[in-house]
Amino acid sequence: MRSTRHLPRYANAQNHYSDFWRKRSEQYNKLEWANHQSYLEAFTRAGDFEETDVVLDVGTGTGIVAHAISPQVNQVIGLDKSQDMLEYSNWYGNMYFIRRDLLDPIFKDEAFDKVTARQVFHHILEGTQEAMDECYRVLKTGGKMIFSEGVPPSEEVKDDYIEIFKLKEERLTFMDEDLIALMAGAGFKDIQMSVLWLRQMSVKNWLVNSGLPESIQDKIFKLHRNAEDYFKRAYNLIENGGDCLIDMKMAIVVGEK
């Protein structure tokens, strides 16, 4: 018989998870970086999508990527653990959304022509490699995985990056080589990475639409405004009208099965 000793702790973790995404979902579509046209275009261009493709969008959230892909393909299935995020996904046409954890396999082997995951894997605190393995499993032979994460702009500011995000959420921090290693570990081949810089993005926009309490928003903002010169150089940080504008580094990685 399965032990129930750890169930209360699990329940508390689930409640925290649900509360976090409920608050975040209400403002997510207002995030400047999430809707940045050059980022969406670079991501979809990397997928080399075809009109016959059936695509799995992992961690689809409010469906921003699914909506960007859908005119180019046959079908998009968006997968996400958070019902609150999916409530904003605006389901229509050739898009279908499912509330499910990627690590709870529901798809058969080689079910998809492409798998996408944009700004998702830093939330997978446990079973990170297993999650990438699952993306590999559901891809058809010759299919592609399109994978993107925000990364620190340099090794020099990695520790600062980690400290800032500790105030926001529990998450993983990847460098470029970590993303490649994650895909290689799953068996992907011909792995290619490109970097897109989102120039002069608003820190205020990011914080106001983060779902965080104002006290935490203020702490994070002050860490930017009062940062050391090396940090400001790495981010090309400029103070402007009570805001801080920074350059965000987005890595886009593509691998083939």
152-205 pLDDT per residue, tens: 999 999 999 999 999 998 999 999 999 999 999 999 999 999 999 999 999 999
Q: Comparing 13 with 48, which gets the higher pLDDT?
A: 48
**Which pLDDT value is given to residue 18?**
62
In a domain, 113, yes or no: yes
For residue 30, how many other CB atoms are within 10 A of its CB?
11
Q: How confident is the model at residue 3 (pLDDT cuts 50, 70, 90)?
A: very low
Average pLDDT over residues 22-48: 91
User: Residue 242 falls within a domain, yes or no?
Assistant: no
CATH number of the domain enclosing 21: 3.40.50.150
Containing structural domain, residue 61: 7-152+170-198+249-256
- Average pLDDT over the chain, rounded to whole? 90
Structural domain contains residue 128? yes
In the predicted structure, residue 85 carries a pLDDT above the cut 50: yes
Using pLDDT thresholds of 50, 70 and 90, give the confidence band for residue 88. confident
Evaluate whether residue 89 is within a structural domain: yes
Domain assignment present for residue 1? The answer is: no
Q: Tell me: pLDDT of 33 over 80.
A: yes
Q: At residue 222, what is the residue type?
A: K
Asked whether residue 116 is domain-assigned, the answer is: yes
Contacts of 256 (CB under 8 A, 6+ apart): 142, 143, 144, 145, 188, 189, 190
pLDDT in tens, 98-137: 998 898 888 999 999 999 999 999 999 999 999 999 999 9
211 assigned to some structural domain: no
C-alpha span between 16 and 20 (Å, rounded):
6
Instruction: Give the pTM.
Output: 0.90
Q: Where are the beta strands (DSSP E) in the chain?
A: 54-58, 75-80, 95-99, 112-118, 139-151, 189-202, 238-240, 243-256
Question: How many domains, the chain?
Answer: 1
Do the domain assignments include residue 73? yes
Q: What is the pLDDT of residue 233?
A: 98
